[in-house]
Amino acid sequence: MKAYIIDRYGKKNTGRMGQVAEPSMHDDDVLVQVHAASVNLLDAKIRNGEFRLILPYRMPLVLGNDVAGVVVRVGRNVSRFKPGDEVYARPDQARIGTFAEFIAVNEHSLAVKPHSLSMEEAAALPLVGLTAWQTLVETAKLKKGQKVLIHAGSGGVGTIAIQLAKHLGVFVATTTSTRNLAWVKALGADVVIDYHKQDFATVLHDYDVVLNSLGKETLEKSLRVLKPGGQLISISGPPDLAFAIEQGLPWWLQQVIRLLSYRIRKKAARLGISYRFVFMRAHAEQLCEIGALIESGAIKPIINRVFPFDMTADALAYVETGRAKGKVVISMK
């Protein structure tokens, strides 16, 4: 089958189109014909080798962490799906590879595609939707009337997180560039900070939760926004010991990772704030919950551009510029 492949790690490795074997299936797997896949900054980070100690992929590697498509074949233990079903998923992190004509996905990572969405719209949702859910609902346990700051509101995660937080009845602040102020406000944000003109840390105070997807400077400044007992949740690092344990990493690597987050955890603890790193995981039940919100109109996918499959390298380069409003999608049509 045709796929977008990397042969080695490295920022200068642009990848290539090539032929690889159709994925092998386990008894709990569903073989999906890919109709659309979305591109995430995570794909670039994997290509660059940033997770090579934590996620030791074998080369050549097919990239891609989001899929929407049609079931072709099911394993002997699969009971929830049949050939012809339209589905979407974020595959298990050890079995990525949606930039291809077919992918085998564990049944417990797969959900029925929302009927109201096109394949391209559905492909834009799994990773960012699950990230928003696992940070705001599962980890932060946001409640009506609380206040959350969501950094990078015009990005893939930000656009969904804002909508989800508003559905939960939460007061939402976000950061974005000047050109996106009105656009992000229309998504539901109550306060929008123009990071070109304002310092969010001097404007915002007494927040319950901050969702960070940016760098070290923004992460540490975010502590000043939170009230005692608040939560600083980061999806861009540094990882913490809880994450290392969840991943089943060896003891020595757990200690390395614990040290990586020591500084921010210590600063947070002094202020009575908790720090948590969240690395999104595949979860079919949560994807079904998100699908229900889609069908009810509470959340809608935001697509910036759609690239043809043959231009996957261009789509990845575009995502790396940081200029995309919402998601970038690859269509197999």
d(CA 278, CA 239): 8
Q: Where in the sequence of the chain do the CATH 3.40.50.720 domains occur?
A: 127-277
CB count, 10 Å around CB of 226? 24
Least confident of 15-29, 45-59, 183-197: 45-59
| Structure confidence by residue, pLDDT tens digits, 9-44 | 998 888 999 999 999 999 999 999 999 999 999 999
Q: Could you tell me the pLDDT band of residue 55, with boundaries at 50, 70 and 90?
A: confident
Distance set, CA 264 to CA 208, 237, 324 (Å): 17, 10, 29
What percent of the chain stands above pLDDT 70?
Answer: 100
Residue in 40, 42, 6, 183 with CA at minimum distance from that of residue 123:
40
Residue 190: pLDDT over 90:
yes
The pLDDT assigned to 154 comes to: 94
Q: Could you tell me the pLDDT band of residue 156, with boundaries at 50, 70 and 90?
A: very high
Asked whether the beta carbons of 312 and 5 are under 8 A apart, the reply is no
Q: Which fold has domain 2-124+301-331?
A: Quinone Oxidoreductase; Chain A, domain 1 (3.90.180)
The pLDDT assigned to 45 comes to: 92
pTM: 0.96
Residue 52: pLDDT over 90:
no
Residue 145: pLDDT over 90:
yes
Residue-averaged pLDDT of the chain:
95
The 8-class DSSP code of residue 43 comes to H
Average pLDDT over residues 130-134: 98
Average pLDDT over residues 284-299: 97
Average pLDDT over residues 42-58: 90
Place of tokens 């290392």: 244
Q: Which CATH architecture has domain 127-277?
A: 3-Layer(aba) Sandwich (3.40)
Q: Could you tell me the pLDDT band of residue 47, with boundaries at 50, 70 and 90?
A: very high
Residue 84: pLDDT over 90:
yes
| Structure confidence by residue, pLDDT tens digits, 249-271 | 899 999 999 999 999 999 999 99
The pLDDT assigned to 58 comes to: 92
Tokens of 286: 């949560």
Residue 109 CA to chain centroid, in angstroms?
15
Q: Which residue has the higher pLDDT, 281 or 333?
A: 281
| Structure confidence by residue, pLDDT tens digits, 205-230 | 999 999 999 999 999 999 999 999 99
Q: Could you tell me the pLDDT band of residue 324, with boundaries at 50, 70 and 90?
A: confident
Residue in 103, 8, 89, 102 with CA at minimum distance from that of residue 46:
8
The pLDDT assigned to 322 comes to: 85
Q: Where in the sequence of the chain do the CATH 3.90.180.10 domains occur?
A: 2-124+301-331
